[in-house]
Structure 1
Amino acid sequence: MLAWYKARLAARPLLTQSVTTAILFATGDITAQQLVERRGASDHDLVRTGRMALYGGSVFGPAATTWYGILQRHVVLSTPRKTMLARVAADQLLFAPVFCGVFLGSMALLEGGSPRDKLKKYYASALTANYALWPAVQMVNFSVVPLEHRVLFVNLISIGWNSYLSFLNSSK
């Protein structure tokens, strides 16, 4: 399976990472609905899962793939440790605040609601939770994970994170 994935990644990196992201965003939503909310199969909201997959595959996957490439090419300092810390800082000060907002705004639009209301209600909570988890994850990601596997690494951690975001987004 890993050999197949690596071959697809080598042939079509953006497409492979986007499809993988779509699948893992959907997995995060399924986790939220079944393990956190305990909805059961008969009450599972497939449209909600579809929204998460659509966002993951068409927005986050391509954006994260591009972002990690930009960091790899343009954030290079005098030592590996300084480079890693600068990449984490850029990720957490630029990418994270924007993409917490993009996620909530996108979900509001896909749900037929108001992005402004959704952001006002959930943005601070999402960003605060982001800062509790992602700096440490990104330190590992930028120091030991090869560039071509960074999106996959983040997506695997994101099963839990996307479960949280899905739960937060669907809270009344």
Structure 2
Amino acid sequence: MAALRSCCARVGPALTAGALMGAGDVIAQQLVERRGLRGHQGPRTLKMMAIGFCFVGPVVGSWYKILDRLIPGSSKVVAVKKVVLDQGAFAPCFLGCFLAITGATNGLSVEENWSKIQQDYTDTLMTNYCIWPPVQIANFYFVPLKHRLAVVQCVAIVWNCYLSWKANRL
């Protein structure tokens, strides 16, 4: 039973991230890009779900555990310290990796992928800074560690829509 709980604790956040990355892509294709059902790119949605399952969920979930060990507690000062580390160190690295992985899954060559990252990275990071610091202050201050990824992923449905649109503009 303990092994099953341990497995679910690792797989659950990845499944949530995969589902919400997929939902973000569907919203991007239908509401932002207005593709309609006939123009919907199912393989793109599946790729975004796979990135959520294999990359976003495990990496972000692990990051929150590491961050909680590095800066224990839940005071306002602790929450601010966590946001500074999260947004100053983790977010820039995470977004670069996300864009690189998305480019690779879209079949871009190394040169094309690097060019796309250079084109999209700064704008994506600045948009990140408009959205995530207030969300993360509340998340780190009010939400227990075991629920932080779920809170972020719920808020992130709009963010995932933006990321999918940004990363898949070729």
Provide TM-score, normalisation by structure 1: 0.90
**CA–CA distance in structure 2, aligned partners of residues 69 and 9 of structure 1:** 17
Matches within 5 A, 1:90-105: 90-105=85-100
Distance 1:118 1:99 in 2: 16
Residues 64 and 151 in structure 1, CA contact (< 8 A), matched pair in contact too = yes
**Paired residue for 1:155?**
153
In structure 2, runs of 5+ residues without a counterpart are none
Distance 2:92 2:117 in 1: 11
Match runs of 1:138-149 below 5 Å: 138-149=136-147
Give the 3 Å change call, closer, same or farther, for CA 51–11 of structure 1 in structure 2: closer
- How far off its partner does 1:10 sit? 7.0
CA offsets, 1:66-113, max 9 Å, x none? 110011112137x71111011001100111001111111001100111
Per-residue CA deviation, residues 11-30 of structure 1 (Å, 9 max, x unaligned), is 62110000010000000000
- Structure 1 alignment gaps of length 5 or more: 1-7
Measure how far apart 1:170 and its partner are. 2.1
Equivalent position of 2:34 in the other structure = 38
Return the offset for 1:50. Answer: 1.1
Residue in 2 aligned with 1:87? 82
Contact 1:80 1:143 in 2 (8 A): yes
> How many angstroms apart in 2 are the aligned matches of 1:9 and 1:64?
19
Q: What is the total number of aligned residue pairs between the two structures?
A: 164
CA distance in 2, matches of 1:105, 1:44: 23
The answer to whether residue 52 in structure 2 is matched with residue 56 in structure 1 is yes
How far residue 9 of structure 1 moved from its aligned partner, in angstroms, is 7.0
| Equivalent position to 2:128, from 130, 150, 165 | 130
1:110 partner letter: T
Report Cα offsets for 1:119-156 as digits up to 9, x if no partner: 11100110000000000110011011111111011101
| 2:68 aligned residue (68, 72, 78) | 72
Go from structure 1 to structure 2 and tell me whether the alpha carbon gap of 1:9 and 1:166 turns closer, same or farther (over 3 Å shift): farther
In 2, the alpha carbon distance for the partners of 1:58 and 1:165 equals 16
CA deviation after TM superposition for structure 1 residue 47, in Å: 1.1
Instruction: Tell me how far apart the structure 2 counterparts of residues 163 and 21 of structure 1 sit (CA, whole Å).
Output: 13
Partner of 1:14: 10
Q: Distance in 2 between matches of 1:170 and 1:115?
A: 11
What is the percentage of aligned positions where both structures have the same residue? 36
